[in-house]
Amino acid sequence: MILERNSAMSASEMKQRLSDLDEKDRPKLDIDEITEFVNLMQTYEGAMYEISTKLDVLDTEFQVRFSHNPIHHMERRLKSVDSLIGKLHRKNLPVTIPSVRDHIFDVAGVRVICNYRDDVYSVSRYLSDQSDIQVLRVKDYIRNPKMNGYRSLHVIYAVPVFLTSGPHYTPVEVQFRTIAMDYWASLEHQLRYKSDLPDARLAEHSQTLLDCARSLQNIEVQMQSIHRDISGSPQEQDS
Ligand code: GTP
Ligand code: MG
C-alpha cells in the first residue's frame, strides 16, 4: 500500500502557488525558469515512482518466496514549494534551480514502514545492491539513535530518470523504519510543533518520549526474536 502525500504540479499550478507567496519569499523567476522548475519537479516525481516500484517488486517477491511481506506500507511525497523555499532560506542558499539541484536531497521522499527491524535491513540492502542506482549517503539512526530517541535508517539514492534528453540521476531520500519507530516519530513530530506548551511540560514529555523509545526498542527485539523463530524469511546477520 502506498500513501500519496502530494504529487507534481503543472506549470499553471506552480505559477499560482508562487504568486500566492508573500512578496519577500517569492523567488524572482521568469516563465522559462518556472517551466524548468516544473520539469525538475517532474524528474523528482519520476525518481520517487521508480524507487517505490522497486520496493513494491521486492515486497511482492518476498511474499511469493517466503510468505512474508517485509513492507507494511509506504508513503511518498514531493516537497512543497513553500517548504523548499523555507529550507533554502534556512541553509542561506539563493532560491534558484541550481541551489535545489545541488544542495537539497529530499525533494523526493519515500518512507518505507516495515514490520520488523530485520525487514528494514534486508529491504534496504536489496535496494542498495541494485546495479542501476547509487547510494549517495546513509545515516543509520537505528544503530546510532538520535539523542531524543529518534530511530530510522535514512538512505539517499541517485536514480536514473530517462527523459527525452537522456538519463538524469536524481536523488530520493528514503526513510526505512519499523511500525514502532514510525508510531514514535509521529508523536515526537507533533510535540516538536507544539510550541505553545510551557518549557517544563515540553521537557517532561521529551523525557517520557525518550523512555518510550527505549521500551519500544525492547519490545521490538522480543517480537523480532519470535518472528525469526517461526518464519522462513532470510535473517540479517548484522542487525
Ligand atoms: P535536513 O533535511 O536539513 O533536516 O537535514 P538532513 O537531511 O541531513 O537530516 P536527517 O537525514 O537527519 O533527517 C531528515 C528527515 O528525517 C527529517 O526531515 C525528518 O523527516 C526525519 N527526522 C530526522 N530527525 C528526526 C527527529 O528527531 N524526529 C522526527 N520525528 N523526525 C526526524
Ligand atoms: Mg531532510
What does the alpha-carbon distance between residue 144 and residue 116 come to, in Å, rounded to a whole number? 17
CA of 226 to the centre of ligand 1 (A): 31
- SS3 labels along 101-114: HHHCCCCEEEEEEE
Fold classification of 19-179 is Beta Polymerase; domain 2 (3.30.460)
The confidence score (pLDDT) of residue 71 equals 97
Residue 127 Cα to ligand 2 middle (Å)? 20
Question: What is the predicted pLDDT for the residue at 189?
Answer: 95
- Which one of 78, 112, 153, 189 would you pick to mutate in the ligand 1 pocket, going by the greatest count of ligand atoms within 8 A of its CB? 189
R_g of the chain, CA atoms, integer Å: 20
Question: What residue has cell string 532560491?
Answer: 95
- ipTM rounded to 2 decimals: 0.94
Place of cell 534528453: 165
The pLDDT value given to residue 18: 73
Paired residues of 109 in beta bridges: 77, 173
User: So what's the pLDDT on residue 9?
Assistant: 64
What's the pLDDT score for residue 234?
A: 62
Strand order in the sheet with 2-4: 2-4, 71-78, 108-114, 166-178, 153-163, 134-140
Is residue 110 within 8 A of residue 155, CB to CB? The reply is: no
Residue nearest to atom 18 of ligand 1 (CA): 106
Q: What is the pLDDT of residues 66-114, one digit of tens each?
A: 889 999 999 999 998 888 989 999 999 998 899 999 999 999 999 999 9
Residue 155 sits at the vertex; the CA angle it makes with 57 and 141, to the nearest 5 degrees, is: 120
- Output the pTM of the full model: 0.91
Confidence (pLDDT) at 7: 60
The rounded Å distance from CA 82 to ligand 2 centre is: 14
What was the pLDDT predicted at 236? 66
- Mark the ranges of the chain whose per-residue pLDDT is less than 70: 6-12, 25, 232-239
Which residues does a 6 A CB cutoff place in the pocket of ligand 1? 106, 139, 146, 148, 150, 154, 175, 185, 188-189
Between CA 44 and CA 50 the distance in angstroms is: 10
Nearest-atom index, ligand 1, CA of 149? 27
Q: Compute, in angstroms, the gap from residue 58 CA to the centroid of ligand 1.
A: 25
What integer best gives the mean pLDDT of the chain? 90
